[in-house]
Each structure stands twice: as C-alpha cells, then as structure tokens.
A and B are shown apart, each in its own frame.
Chain A
Amino acid sequence: MTRFALSSSPDTASGRRRRATIRATDLALLAGVAALVACAGPQSALDPAGRGAERIAELFWWMTAGTVVVWAAVMALAFYVSTRRREPGPRAPGVLIVGGGVVLPVLVLTALLIWGLALLPSLLAGVDAEPTLFVTGRQFWWEVVYRTSDGRVVPLANELRLPVGRPAVLQLDSHDVIHSLWIPALAGKVDMIPGRVTRLTLEPSRTGVFRGLCAEYCGLSHAHMAFVVAVTEEHEFAEWLAHQAEPASAPASPLAARGQELLLAHGCGACHTIRGTLADGDVGPDLTHVGGRLSIAAGTLSSDPRAFQRWIEAPEQVKPGVHMPAFAMLPQADREALAAYLEGLK
C-alpha cells in the first residue's frame, strides 16, 4: 500500500526528476572544473609562461578551432543528407569524396605541417645566452650546471632558475638512459640522449614557479623525476646565481654542526659534493645549497627538516629504484642532526 501511494504521488515523482537533473548538472560541472583545473597551474601547457609554450599553445588553439569547424561541417552534411528529398546528381559523390577526402585534408595538413616545422627552429635554436646551462638527466634526478662568461661554474641539482624576458639555452645530455626534459608552461619537450647533446631554448615571459618533469619513461621512479623552475626578475636571478657560486655556509647551530660531522664521518661525501667541505663526490646531487631549494629528491618532497629525515631514512620508499642506500640504521638523533645541517644549507 505504502509503495503504491509513494509512486503515484506526483510531488515525489517530480522531486525525483529534479534530483536526477541536479545530479547530471553536478557531474557536468565537476567534469568541467576538472578539465579547467588542468588548464592552469605550474605545469600546464595551456597556461603558457614562455615564448615556446605560447607558440605551441597558439598552434593548439588553432588546431582545436579547426577541429570544431570540421566537426560542425561533417555534422551539418550528415544532417543535410539524412533530411533532403532530392536524389543527388551523378557527379556529387565523386566531388564530395575527392574534395572532402583528399583535397581538403592535404591542404589543411600541409598548412599545419608547414606551421609546425616553421616553429621548430625557433624553439630549438641556440642563441648566444648568458649563462650557459647544462642539464644532465640521471636516474632519477637532474644535474644542472650554470657556466657564466666570467668563468664561474655553478653545479646544482633538481632546480632551474631563469631571468624573465630573455632567452636561456639549455644543453641537454643523459648519464644513463634516455630521459626527456619538459617544462609544459615554458616550452616543448626535448629528449636527453646519452652521448649526444641536444638543445632547448627557454624564454620565460612572466615570473612564477613552474614544474618540469621527465617525459620519457626512464625506470622505476620515472614518475618521481621532476624539478622546479623559478622565473624571477633579472636582479634577483643575478643575486641567486652569485649566492649559488659561493661555498656552503657554516652550520648555524650546534645540532647542525653535529650533522655536518656525521655527514662527513658516514661517508656521504663519497657521493655528494658540499663545496667548502671535504665532501666532494660526483655520484649523487650537489648539496652545497640544498636547503635553499624549493624541493628535494627531484621535485618529490618539500625542503623542510622532516622531509630530509624521511629521505635519509628510507629513500627507497620515496623513490623506488633510487641508488642512494637507506640510513635507517643511524640513531634517530643522528638523522635529526643530519637533516638540520642539510636544511640549513641555504
């Protein structure tokens, strides 16, 4: 009885309909928001912040517009064919097939190809830029070296900083397998191939912090091989580079001083360099100013003491396949001291 009463009630029926409508709009809204979220942010090719990315985005929008026009035309034709009464003339199918299936695609695709190829030289070409940047892909981090014309060589890792408004040329190489460097907001991607130097020109058009990543599967932690790109004003960049060229600062607290002692005693310097100390290894990332970086472990952890501790204790958990061994056997207090020292290397 109750069931009958409910289903026959007009109010409830319309209520259910309303709920259904709301649910559909909700979904559409969610999908729309999700789609739009991907359009902005530090890692979006559709929110360009550099000349290369702008031209690629422009090409993308033209292609999208073209796609919409073609799609609309095809739909209109389909509608027309299905509703008209008159039989077509004997030549109409031939004209349609040759015109729409051969001539039109050839014209459109040739135009796109010419456009795309014309873009390439300007995206890849080396210009005389200062300083020169060398980026080497390694499983699973980025070795970055700045060379200035006055002879300074500044090695760092997992972070790029660029001045806004002028081009920077990256010379790319790989130490082990093929990687690919991609900063979607700034430019297209370029492969990093062992034994061969490839080039990429970046010309940021606005300041901000962007995310770069490896775009060629390179092993277990490929997905955790990222880096931060900070675009700043020219004078900030110059100050930053001058600071990076300096040796590491002395530990500022007793805890950090103990951390430095432990770092040298446990042989961390066999793999890592901290300029100004006995640590001079060439196997892992340079740590001279690691505490001043915006992220550690190649864009996977923030650079706070807890993150340093986590990394020292269980790098394999953060990055499967990492080559650094875990130091979980050290007492907690020692790991804290190490983290305090590293975090203080601004």
Chain B
Amino acid sequence: MTRRRLKTGALLLALLALGGFLVVAAGLVPIAASSGHWRITAWFLHFAMRRAVATRTLGDELPPRDEPWLVLKGAGHYEGACRPCHGRPEEPLPPVPHAMTPHPPRLGPELATKWEPEELFYVVKHGIKFTGMPGWPSQQRDDEVLAMVAFLLELPDLDAEGYRRLVHGDAAPAFVADPLPELARRHCARCHGLDGCGRESPAFPRLAGQSREYLGAALHAFADGRRHSGIMRPIAAGLSGDQRDELAGYYSDQRGCPPSDERSAAAIARGGQIAERGVPAQRVPACVDCHGPGRPRRNAAMPDLAGQYADYLVLQLELFKARQRGGSAYAHLMTPVASPLDAEQIRDLAAYYASLKPAP
C-alpha cells in the first residue's frame, strides 16, 4: 500500500520536473527586464538575498574605521564606479540602469538602518548574482572594501554639495585645454590632484616627483592585475598603454608638494635608524639603498618615499607583509623586507619617510 503511494508520488514528481524542463526548453520563461518581476517573485528573491547575506556574515566583525580619510577613498571610487548605477544625492537615478530588473536601488537611509556594516562589506566585496552588482575587482584588498563601506555609511546624510566636496575636494580642477593635463584631470586628478600631491590626504598617494619608470610600471601592473586594487585596476585598464606612460610622465614632472603631516620626533628618529641600517637581527635590510635618501643612482623602477603620506606607507608595508599588494617585476623584493617588521617598526618607518622633504 505505502509502497504504491511512494511510487505514485515519485512518478508525479518526475512528471512535474519534466514539465518544468519542457516549459524552459520551449522558451516560455519570461526573461525580459522590461516586464519586471511579479511582486511575489521580487519579494522572494529579495528575501533570499537578505537571508544569504545575513547567514554568511554571522559572527563577522569589521576592523575599526578610525582613519578619517577612508571616507574620501571610498567617495572617489563611488563617483567613478558606483554612481553610474546608484546615482548621487539630490539627482534622479540614472535612466539606463533604472531600466534593469531588478534596478539598482538609490542608496538612502536604509543603508544604515536595514544593513549591518558587515553585511555591506560582504555585498561590496562579493557582489550579488543575477542583479548586475559586481564583486570587488580585486579580492585581495579588504582595506579598499572597508573604505567603500565607510563612505556608504556617510552617503545617506550627504546633500549634493557635501557629496561634491567629498568626491572632488574644495576646488575641482576645471577643463584644461592642453590634452595631457586634461587626460590627468579626467582620470587621476579627482583623487591624486592635478599637482600629484594627493589632495592632502593619505587616502591618495603622492605621485608628484616619482620617476616615470615607477609610475608607468605601477599603472601597467594595476591594469593587468599584477598589482592588486579594485579601485585602480578599472581606471588603469581603461587607459591605453601609451596613455599610462604619458600620465606617468606627466606626474613625474610635477614638483613642489607641501611637506607631509607631522609625527613624533622619537618615531621619526627610530624610523630613520631602520631606514639607514635595517634591523640585521630581524634580517631586515636598509631601505635607503633602494628608496633613498642619499643614494643618487638608484634604480628608477623603485619609488622615492620622501614626503609620502605615512598612512599610505603603512598600508603598503602591511599589504606586502600579507603578500596581497602585488606590483611590478620588482615587487617580490619587498616580501622578505616587510615580513619581519612589526606594527610599531612599520609606523616608525612611515613617520620617517613622511617627515622627509619631497623631491624638489
């Protein structure tokens, strides 16, 4: 008796599956974005997404987002990569992505009320299938994703003017007639400034006065993913090889950034000692042989660190230490250098190089 029922049930299920397959095979499933979802489908899909994100972030805890410049870093990237779909404050959503199903939401107050920061981090890092929301282009750079989250939490409170100030700074450079500065203005200046001084913020490294070789190699490495960054990769990959070299040349010709931020004299002295002599007991070589100062005939493919932002240097050393920075053909030389350094030594070194006068 039960056996027969089981058999009937199995047969029914098989018929149902076959029927479903036939519906799909006959091309009857509606896939048109123009028709939208049924309300219940939309609810169900959204429910599935919320549950999936909540489950996958169980027990996650984000590192502190203390650095005030994290927001700036996120803002610059939002304007380039997110704004085309999610829009900006006090403006209607862009019409083309609005015709998507589901269409990208305006990122309003529910960002902070309905989502945990950890959930935002998960969504920004991994994206969402079937929605057009991409994952972060470089899975190595959680620090960039964190900067994005820091900005997203600020976004609902911004008006158009506040948004513009975060993205462009106080004075956004206007159109330049000369094609090369114009190229820099369009692709780089929003964050690095037209003068290459990085908007006075460690969010954006100083490019002014770096060698053409180093900047060019960095841009090429960003473009093909050898140097990891979800922010820089799309920008560099959108430029032609020649444009990258031209921009490298443009910024290497810029001069005269103001001195970087001040740190404690004791930290600078300790950092100077490490830079000059290394830490032989920890097998850390000296920095000056490759990065200056006082070594006039260095390989131009290695960056000059004088006057660079301390927080940027700390981040780079930490990325090298975690083997997540990548870079040009010389980048592997830094792995054995950065790995033995502890957090305090890294801060001291960064303070030392930040305190040096930038190349004149």
Question: What is the number of contacts between chain A and chain B, taking CB atoms within 8 Å?
Answer: 54
Please tell me if B330 contacts chain A, counting CB pairs below 8 Å: yes
One of B71-79, B124-132, B287-295 contacting the partner = B287-295
Q: Does residue A283 face the partner (Cβ distance < 8 Å to B)?
A: yes
> Which interface class (under 10, 10 to 19, 20 to 34, 35 or more) fits B?
20 to 34
- CB of B213, distance to nearest CB on chain A (Å): 12
A261 touches B285 (CB 8 A): no
Asked if A269 is at the interface of the complex by the 8 Å CB criterion, the answer is yes
Cβ of B278 and Cβ of A283 under 8 Å apart? yes
Is the CB–CB distance between A270 and B336 below 8 Å?
Answer: no
Please measure, in the bound complex, the distance between the C-alpha atom of A281 and the C-alpha atom of B276, giving whole angstroms: 10
Asked if B14 is at the interface (CB within 8 A of a chain A CB), the reply is no
Name the interface residues of A293-329: CB closer than 8 Å to any CB of B. Answer: 323, 325-326, 329
- State A175–B284 Cα separation when bound (angstroms): 13
Q: When the two chains form their complex, are residues B289 and A323 in contact, meaning their CB atoms are under 8 A apart?
A: no
Inter-chain CA distance A207–B345, complex, in Å, is 49
Chain B residues whose CB sits within 8 angstroms of the CB of A280 once the complex forms: 286
Min CB distance A241 to B, Å, is 25
Q: How far is the CA of A42 from the CA of B284 in the complex (A)?
A: 36
* A282 CB-CB contact with B under 8 Å: yes
At the interface, yes or no: A39 with Cβ under 8 Å from chain B?
Answer: no
- Shortest Cβ gap from B327 to chain A (Å): 11
Assuming the A-B contacts A278-B295, A325-B335, are A267 and B302 also in contact, with contact meaning beta carbons closer than 8 angstroms in the complex? yes
Residue of B with least CB distance to A330: B329
Assess the A265–B278 pair: CB atoms within 8 A.
no
> Chain B: which residue is nearest A279 at the CB level?
B289
Contacting residues, chain A, for B329 (C-beta < 8 A): 329
B277 within 8 A of A: yes
**CB <8 Å contact, B287 and A270:** yes
A91 CB within 8 Å of chain B: no
Inter-subunit contact B297/A325 (CB<8 Å): no
A248-291 vs B, CB cutoff 8 Å, 1 = contact: the mask equals 00000000000001001111111100000011111100000000
A281 to B329 alpha-carbon distance, docked (Å): 23
Distance in angstroms from A314 CB to nearest chain B CB is: 13
Inter-chain CA distance A322–B335, complex, in Å, is 13
Contacts of B288 in A (CB 8 A): 270
Asked if B63 is an interface residue, CB under 8 A from chain A, the answer is: no
**Would you call A329 and B285 a contact (CB within 8 A)?**
no
CB nearest to B333 among chain A residues: A325
> A281, B285: Cβ atoms under 8 Å?
yes
Instruction: Check A283/B280 contact, CB under 8 A, given A270-B289, A270-B290.
Output: yes
| A271 contacts B295, C-beta separation under 8 Å | no
Q: Which residues of A contact B333 (CB under 8 A)?
A: 267, 325
When the two chains form their complex, are residues B330 and A281 in contact, meaning their CB atoms are under 8 A apart? Answer: no
> B102-123, CB under 8 A of A: which get 1 and which 0?
0000000000000000000000
CA distance in complex: A282, B171 (Å):
48
User: A81-96 toward B: CB 8 Å interface, digit per residue (1/0)?
Assistant: 0000000000000000
Chain A residues with Cβ below 8 Å from B277 are 282
Contact pick for A264, options B295, B330, B335, CB 8 Å: B295
Known: A261-B297, A278-B295, A325-B335. A270 touches B330 (CB 8 A): no
Verify if B186 is at the interface (C-beta below 8 Å from A). no
A280–B285 Cα distance when bound, in Å, is 10
Set of chain A residues within 8 Å of B302, measured between Cβ atoms = 267
Is B240 interfacial (CB 8 A cutoff)? no
Query: With contacts A270-B289, A329-B329, A329-B330 known, is A283 near B297, CB below 8 A?
Result: no
A179, B290: Cα distance in complex, Å: 32
Give chain A residues whose Cβ lies under 8 Å from the Cβ of B299: 265-267
B298 contacts A by Cβ under 8 Å: yes
Contacts of B283 in A (CB 8 A): 283, 323
Q: Which B residues touch A261, using CB under 8 A? A: 297
Task: Establish whether residues A270 and B298, one from each chain, have CB atoms under 8 Å apart when the complex forms.
Answer: no
Q: What's the minimum C-beta distance from B207 to chain A, rounded to whole angstroms?
A: 22
A110 and B56 alpha carbons, distance in the complex (Å): 71
- The answer to whether B278 and A267 touch across the interface, beta carbons within 8 angstroms, is no
Q: Is B323's beta carbon under 8 Å from chain A?
A: no
CB-based nearest B residue for A281: B285
A334 to B332, CA, bound (A): 18
* CB-based nearest A residue for B283: A283
- Please name the residue on chain A nearest to B285 by beta carbon: A270
Nearest CB in chain B: distance from A266 CB, A: 5
A282 to B276, CA, bound (A): 11
A333 to chain B, nearest CB (A): 15
Please, how many angstroms separate the alpha-carbon atoms of A142 and B45 in the complex? 66
Residues of B within 8 A of A264 (CB): 289, 295, 297
With A266-B299, A283-B284 as contacts: A323 and B336 at CB distance below 8 Å = yes
- State whether A281 and B295 are in contact (beta carbons under 8 Å apart), knowing that A325-B333, A329-B329 are contacts in the complex: no
Interface string of B295-333 (1 = CB under 8 A from A): 101110010000000000000000000000000011011
- Given contacts A265-B299, A325-B335, is CB(A283)–CB(B285) below 8 Å? yes
Complex Cα distance, B280 from A281, in Å, reads: 8
Pick the most buried of B284, B289, B333: most chain A CB atoms within 10 A of its CB: B289
Q: Tell me the residues in window 231-257 of chain A with beta carbons closer than 8 Å to chain B beta carbons.
A: none
| Contact, CB under 8 Å: B285 / A325 | no
CA distance in complex: A280, B299 (Å): 17
From B281, B290, B332, B335, contact of A267 by CB (8 A): B290
- Write the residues of chain B forming the contact surface with A, with a CB cutoff of 8 angstroms: 277-278, 280-281, 283-290, 295, 297-299, 302, 329-330, 332-333, 335-336
13 other contacts beyond A267-B302, A283-B285, with CB at 8 A cut-off? Answer: A175-B281, A261-B297, A264-B295, A265-B298, A265-B299, A266-B299, A270-B278, A270-B285, A270-B287, A282-B280, A283-B278, A325-B335, A326-B332
User: B-contacting residues of A (Cβ < 8 Å)?
Assistant: 175, 261, 264-271, 278-283, 323, 325-326, 329
8 contacts between A and B (CB under 8 A): A270-B278, A270-B285, A270-B289, A279-B289, A283-B283, A283-B284, A325-B332, A329-B330
Those 8 A-B pairs whose CB atoms lie nearest each other, nearest first = A267-B290, A270-B285, A270-B289, A329-B329, A282-B280, A267-B289, A271-B285, A265-B299
